[in-house]
Structure 1
Amino acid sequence: MKKKRMVLVMAVSAMCMMAGCGNTVKDGTEALEQGDYDTAIASFEEAAGSDDKEEAAEGYCGLGMTYYEQKQYDQALEMLEKAFDNGTVKTAELCNLAGTSALCKEDYAKALEYIQEGIALAEEKQGNKKQEDKKQETLLQEMKYNEIICLEKTADWEMAKEKMSEYQAAYPEDESVAKEAEFLQTR
């Protein structure tokens, strides 16, 4: 859980540095990093209410991450979508958060959409680098597994089997998917 929080905080911090965000977003980011969700929410809500569209987008993004950390997936997804609507650049990490939030609230079609978008972004980013980034590869693996789950939940068995086969070829060391692969063979 702490590892995931650090990924979230790093994503908000990177976004904040690139955009030169205001103090409210910085305060919210620091509070999120410390696990002080009430303070984070208050800071990010203030930023989301800004007339500056970029600051508002950062505020919504921060709110999405804070709600995600609290396992409030409905609110997390709503805030992430508002962030995207206000101009937040979609990254593999943010698409994964939105997809995972949709998956947790059983909106499998929306989850699949975000996860596939995140996979495409991660693969594009990975293709643009000479050295493989372990964090990016771990994120990509997580999204590819979640894609299989979404396909199962929408009863797209053939595509789920195909994606499972691709997953096992790409990640043969992941023995935890053996039962899932066996289940898919019965479909």
Structure 2
Amino acid sequence: MALVAQGKIKKVFIAGIMAILFLSGCSVKEKKYFESGKILLDEGNYAEAVEAFDKAIGVHGSKNIRGLEIDILRYRAEAEYKAGDYKAAEHTYKLLISADEERREYIDMLTIIYTNLSNVDMDIDITDAIEMYNKAESLDDRSELHINAGIAIVKYYEDMYEKNADSSYLDKAEEFLEKQLKETDRKNAKVFAVYAKHMSKREDYDKALEAVDEGIALLENKDLVSSDEETMKSLMFSKGSCYEYMGEYDKALECFNAYIDKYGEDDTVSHEVAFLNSRIR
């Protein structure tokens, strides 16, 4: 009897060891596919990255999403979004929300995705994007991604205006921008940059210039990262454009020359300078 018992214990022990080795092998493969997917994502090979992340998830094979699997899904969602497969990205972000609680970054990404799917997917409307945005806002979301999500909604309305020549879309865009200015306590330069462009589109150059000045004031005494520099460029260009549209060509030329001194020439600003010089002489 003792020998039989020992035999059973030995079999259980061997089975346990085999299971550990099998799981270890799966874990190695999972991590291998995951790392491969990240490299492909960094290289801009988004469709191939999605395939690699799918293989990593396939190796895992469990219905329980946790730990590394959550990281894999996050990267897969990013790859799907960058590949332009918004429906797939929507599905993955919803999986993440169900597994990793309602993290604000997932909700913000769904906001952006829904703006892209509006008027393309019959089941999605811009109100879905606004609902997601408001949900993130209720969680006290003040991240850069949340700002970008709101700007995506503004740009949706402006694009709809361009397509339909219906000024009600500009009204909605302006209303949403006013909402963003209030939510950020008028302390986000990027929102001011978008607001300035919008008011210029509406030919309200005084308001546009006010927004430019407020935005620049927020950045002037700050060590600027690359995103801040892009915002500053936008604000400085808007300032020159506003003065040009107002017929104040000397001021406009001064603004564009200041832009060139700071950021160098490009085709667009060179064209503006050439036009202004032709008007001043």
TM-score clears 0.5: yes
Query: Could you tell which deviates more after superposition, 91-100 or 22-31?
Result: 22-31
Partner of 2:211: 114
Following superposition, the deviation at residue 66 of structure 1 comes to 0.6
1:41 aligns with 2:127: yes
SS of residue in 1 equivalent to 2:237: helix
Q: From 145, 154, 158, give the equivalent of 1:67.
A: 154
Structure 1 moving runs of 4+ over 4 Å:
22-26, 45-49, 52-55, 59-64, 86-89
Deviations 1:126-179 (A, max 9, x none): xx35xxx22322221122111100111122222212212212222334243222
Partner of 1:15: none
Following superposition, the deviation at residue 84 of structure 1 comes to 2.5
Partner of 1:152: 244
| 1:75–1:53 distance in 2 versus 1, CA, 3 Å | farther
| 1:176–1:48 distance in 2 versus 1, CA, 3 Å | closer
Distance 2:108 2:230 in 1: 27
Partner of 1:101: 198
Distance 1:23 1:105 in 2: 36
Amino acid at match of 1:41: T
The question of whether the paired residues in 2 share the 8 Å contact of 1:45 and 1:63 is answered with no
Distance 1:75 1:143 in 2: 22
Q: From 173, 178, 181, give the equivalent of 1:84.
A: 181
Partner of 1:17: none
Distance 2:261 2:147 in 1: 38
SS of residue in 1 equivalent to 2:272: helix
SS of residue in 2 equivalent to 1:155: coil
TM-score (norm 1): 0.65
Alignment identity in percent?
A: 23
Distance 2:180 2:267 in 1: 37
SS of residue in 1 equivalent to 2:221: helix
State how 1:13-32 maps to structure 2 within 5 Å: 27=107, 29-32=109-112
Distance 2:132 2:228 in 1: 31
| 1:165–1:69 distance in 2 versus 1, CA, 3 Å | same
Distance 1:67 1:138 in 2: 18
Runs of at least 5 residues in structure 1 that lack an aligned partner in the other structure: 1-5, 7-21
The question of whether the paired residues in 2 share the 8 Å contact of 1:151 and 1:159 is answered with yes
The question of whether the paired residues in 2 share the 8 Å contact of 1:99 and 1:115 is answered with yes
| 1:103–1:122 distance in 2 versus 1, CA, 3 Å | same
TM-score (norm 2): 0.46
- Greater length-normalized contact order (CA 8 Å, ≥ 6 residues apart): 1
1:136 aligns with 2:217: no
Partner of 1:123: 220
